[in-house]
């Protein structure tokens, strides 16, 4: 999560996809009733990416994501919207875990906020043994994109 909001799924070691790549950032979320922001996505307006991507955060707050204070109210909105997308994906794909990454997660308070929002939205429906294992940060030190590209190239070369 940064300039855009992307996502992918792996099942039995293989990327899940169809005729193109997954567009998980363009899922429609239920807006907070107090949120009057329309969104920046030129196609959907209030899709996840349109509401919480880096450009959306900048337009909402007039600050770069890395300069938004940890106690800014935008993080409550971001965590709720992201938790909605995670829950919907979890229920659709019966996922084992979610690995989150991108520049926005330099905001250290965000991961626990997303985890807490997920627990509230899930409301005990899906059994999650340990939320810290289920929703966690990527450990690839910012190299997720290049590693993903290499994995795709490997698959194409097969």
Q: Domain containing 66 — which CATH number? A: 3.30.420.40
β-strand 135-137 against 98-100: which pairing, if any? parallel
Residue 125 has pLDDT above 80, yes or no: yes
Q: Report DSSP letters for the chain, one per residue.
A: --SS-----EETTEE--SSS---GGG-B-PPPTT-----SBTTTBSBHHHHHSHHHHHHHHSS-GGGS-TT-THHHHHHHHHHHHHHHHHHHHT-S-EEE-SGGGGSTTHHHHHHHHHHHHHTTSS--S-HHHHEEE--STT-HHHHHHHHHHHHHH-
Written as six digits, the tokens of 109 are 């308070």
Q: Of the ranges 90-99, 101-110, 124-133, which is most confident?
A: 124-133
**Residue 101, in any domain of the structure:** yes
Whether residue 140 lies inside any domain: the answer is yes
* pLDDT (mean) for 33-57: 93
How far is the C-alpha of 24 from the C-alpha of 8, rounded, in Å?
7
Residue 44 lies in a domain: yes
pLDDT band at 104 (very low <50, low <70, confident <90, very high): confident
Q: Is residue 115 part of a domain?
A: yes
Band of the pLDDT at 80, cuts 50, 70, 90? Answer: very high
- The pLDDT, as a whole number, for residue 142 is 67
Query: 40 near 33, Cβ under 8 Å?
Result: no
In a domain, residue 5? The reply is no
Taking the alpha carbons at both ends of the chain, their separation in whole angstroms is 29
- Residue 132 domain flag: yes
And the tokens for 62? 């007039």
Residue 48 forms part of a structural domain: yes
Q: Taking the model in full, what pTM does it have?
A: 0.86
Q: What is the reported pLDDT for 141?
A: 67
Rounded mean pLDDT, 29-50: 93
What pLDDT is recorded for position 144?
A: 67
Whole-number percent of the chain with pLDDT over 70: 97
pLDDT at 126 > cutoff 90: yes
Determine, yes or no, domain membership for 3.
no
**Total domains in the fold of the chain:** 1
Mean pLDDT of the region 15-34: 85
| Residue 104 lies in domain | 10-157
pLDDT of residue 24 exceeding 90: no
């Amino acid at each position: 999560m940064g300039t855009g909001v992307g996502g992918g799924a792996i099942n039995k070691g293989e990327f899940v996809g169809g005729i193109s790549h997954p567009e998980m950032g363009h899922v429609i979320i239920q807006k907070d009733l107090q949120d009057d922001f329309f969104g920046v996505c030129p196609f959907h307006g209030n899709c996840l990416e349109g509401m919480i991507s880096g450009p959306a955060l900048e337009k909402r707050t007039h600050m770069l994501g890395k300069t938004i204070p940890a106690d800014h109210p935008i993080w409550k909105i971001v965590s709720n919207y992201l938790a909605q997308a995670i829950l919907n994906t979890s229920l659709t794909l019966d996922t084992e875990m979610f690995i989150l990454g991108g520049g926005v997660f330099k905001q250290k308070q965000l991961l626990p906020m997303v985890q807490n929002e997920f627990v509230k939205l899930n409301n005990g429906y899906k059994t999650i043994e340990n939320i810290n294992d289920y929703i966690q940060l990527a450990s690839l030190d910012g190299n997720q994109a290049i590693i993903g590209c290499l994995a795709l190239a490997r698959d194409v070369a097969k």
